[in-house]
Amino acid sequence: MKIVFAAPSLDAQLWLPELNRALPDADIQVDGQQPDGWLADYALVWLPAAGFFSSQPQLKGIVNLGAGVDKLLAQADFPRQVPLMKLRDAGMGALILDYVRYGLLHFGRDFDRYRADQRALVWQPLELNNPLKRKVTVLGTGAIGQTVANGLVADGYTVRSWGRSSKHIEGVEVFAGQAALADCLADTDVLVNLLPCTQETQGLIQQKQLQLLNRGAVVISAGRGEIFSELALVQGLESGQLRGALLDVFEQEPLPANSPLWRMDNVLVTPHIAGPTLIDGAVEQVSDYLLKLEAGVSVPCVDVETGY
């Protein structure tokens, strides 16, 4: 099988030895370095160059080396009839769970307030509200959403999840569909966004939805930034409706220098690093997909209409 690696932002020198080890019979070439006329059967992609898919007209399958496929589906020459697979957790879930835990601890153990006190040379222990009493709502019930919800339940939090369709997650109250969103958000202390960007999720959380959260709620966002109205977030953070936010994803990335979020004392900004792709986890999943496809065994594919 012939595989093209088209992920300009990833280091091919690190990926190729692992891919060759997992798929010893494959001919794997890096996009742009393949011999003239060489056409691949499968493409491993992460934000491939414009025009990439037009240059590879014989693909039998495409694997996205990340969880989100929003940018990929928006590429002008993306072949919607070719089976598309994506990483499903592949080690990312545990990293994102850590990121979410960091946010929960930062605000739950008052590090935001102690930081401000330190700057003002104030030594003042605060009364601690049991952080585990905080009600956490996780938006997203996919592979990563489930890993995070399970981890938080194990930590002792009361967890609700919201997703498009109904699912069972042990120990979690799951809400499904737009009609159930308001009930899911009500009485929430920490809102965790792990949703992909799709037609249904874009702009899901506006001022009206933020108002449903308990006053002083915290937002942790590590899915896609387009889920929130950033203006509503800023207003919520200014008004005190939100105590603070830990944000990894934004409507526009890199976050523009003129965004007020950069400068707000109650906001922590990170540059889309909550769930990086881990080479070993990814290679294991990629090789499993490709070997199954070659053997005619079905694999979970992205529905290009729903966008995940």
213, 227 contact by CB (below 8 A): no
Phi, psi of 250 (to 5 degrees): -140, 160
Helix (H) and strand (E) counts for the chain?
A: 9, 12
Q: How many residues bind ligand GLV (CB under 6 A)?
A: 5
Residues paired with 62 in a beta bridge: 43, 84
Single residue of 91, 244, 275, 307 touching ligand GLV by CB under 6 A: 275
To the nearest whole angstrom, how small is the minimum distance from the Cβ of residue 204 to ligand GLV?
17
Nearest-approach distance from CB 67 to ligand GLV, in angstroms: 4
Strand 2-6, strand 42-45: pairing: parallel
> Looking at 68, 151, 225, 244, which residue binds ligand GLV (CB under 6 A)?
68
Q: Which is nearer to ligand GLV, 67 or 290 (CB)?
A: 67
Token pair recorded at residue 30: 């890096």
Which is closer to ligand GLV, CB of 67 or CB of 219? 67
Q: Judged by CB, which is closer to ligand GLV: 51, or 271?
A: 271
Nearer to ligand GLV by C-beta: 26 or 84? 84
101, 113, 164, 272: which one is catalytic?
A: 272
Q: Does 91 bind ligand GLV (CB under 6 A)?
A: no
Q: Among positive and negative, which fits the CA dihedral 240, 244, 249, 253?
A: positive
Q: What is the CA radius of gyration of the chain?
A: 21
Using CB under 6 A as the binding rule, whether residue 73 contacts ligand GLV is answered as no
Q: Does 48 bind ligand GLV (CB under 6 A)?
A: no
Indicate the residue among 55 and 270 with the shorter CB distance to ligand GLV.
270
Annotated catalytic residue, options 109, 224, 243, 263 = 224
Identify whether the C-beta of residue 148 lies closer than 8 Å to the C-beta of residue 194. yes
Angle at 307 between CA 302 and CA 308, to 5 degrees: 50
| Pairing status of strand 135-139 against strand 158-163 | parallel
Cα distances (angstroms) measured from residue 48 to each of 234, 277, 284 = 33, 15, 21
Whether 224 is catalytic is yes
Out of 48, 61, 66, 151, the residue judged to bind ligand GLV by CB under 6 A:
66
How far is it, in rounded angstroms, from Cα 308 to Cα 301?
A: 9
Q: Does 67 bind ligand GLV (CB under 6 A)?
A: yes
5: three-class secondary structure by DSSP: strand
Stated length of the chain: 308
272 is catalytic: yes
Q: Which is nearer to ligand GLV, 56 or 221 (CB)?
A: 221
Stretch that binds ligand GLV, among 64-72, 94-102, 108-116, 172-180 (CB under 6 A): 64-72
Smallest gap from Cβ 64 to ligand GLV, in A, equals 8
Q: Cite the active site residues.
A: 224, 272
Residues that bind ligand GLV in the complex, under the rule CB under 6 A: 66-68, 275, 277
